Amino acid sequence: MNSIEKFRNAIQERHPVRFTYNKPGKAHGIRIGNPHAIYECETKEGVKSIKVDIAQTGGVTDGRAPLPRLKMFDLIDLIIHEIDTDAVFQVDPDYRSDCEKYSNPIKKI
């Protein structure tokens, strides 16, 4: 199962995930969170990428804002280590499924 399928399943069933974000310049280590959407986006220059919005609930973080916090991650830099199939998360209050950035969804709550 590839990363898109793993995130699609986790979003569908609302299961938390343990993951690493291996993007240069970002803190290394395990992060924990609740994936809410996976979608394609395009920059003004026409560069396409796949993003995942995750309400991070624990683990390492680059920000100073308290967790949980809804964050956008580049799929290409994500590795899922575990999907907690025994847990079900609630939708984050900051998540807006009708947001314009989700106009090309792969899967969203």
Looking up tokens 């947001």 gives 99
pTM of the model: 0.93
With CA atoms as reference, report the closest residue to 51 among 42, 36, 40, 61: 40
Tell me: pLDDT of 62 over 90.
no
Q: What tokens were used for 109?
A: 């709550």
Do 58 and 67 form a contact (C-beta atoms < 8 A)?
yes
Res. 63: pLDDT tops 80: no
Average pLDDT value for the chain = 94
Q: How confident is the model at residue 100 (pLDDT cuts 50, 70, 90)?
A: very high
pLDDT of 68 reads: 82
Contacts of 4 (CB under 8 A, 6+ apart): 38, 50, 75, 106
Q: Structurally, how many domains does the chain consist of?
A: 1
Give the mean model confidence (pLDDT) for residues 65-76: 90
Element (H, E) at 13: helix 3-13
| pLDDT tier for residue 74 given thresholds of 50, 70 and 90 | very high
Q: Which domain holds residue 12?
A: 3-108
pLDDT at residue 1, as a whole number: 74
* 44 has pLDDT over 90: no
Query: What distance in Å separates the CA atoms of residue 30 and residue 94, rounded to the nearest whole number?
Result: 23
Q: Which residues are registered as beta bridge partners of 79?
A: 20
Residue with structure tokens 């991070």? 56
- For residue 25, give the DSSP letter: T
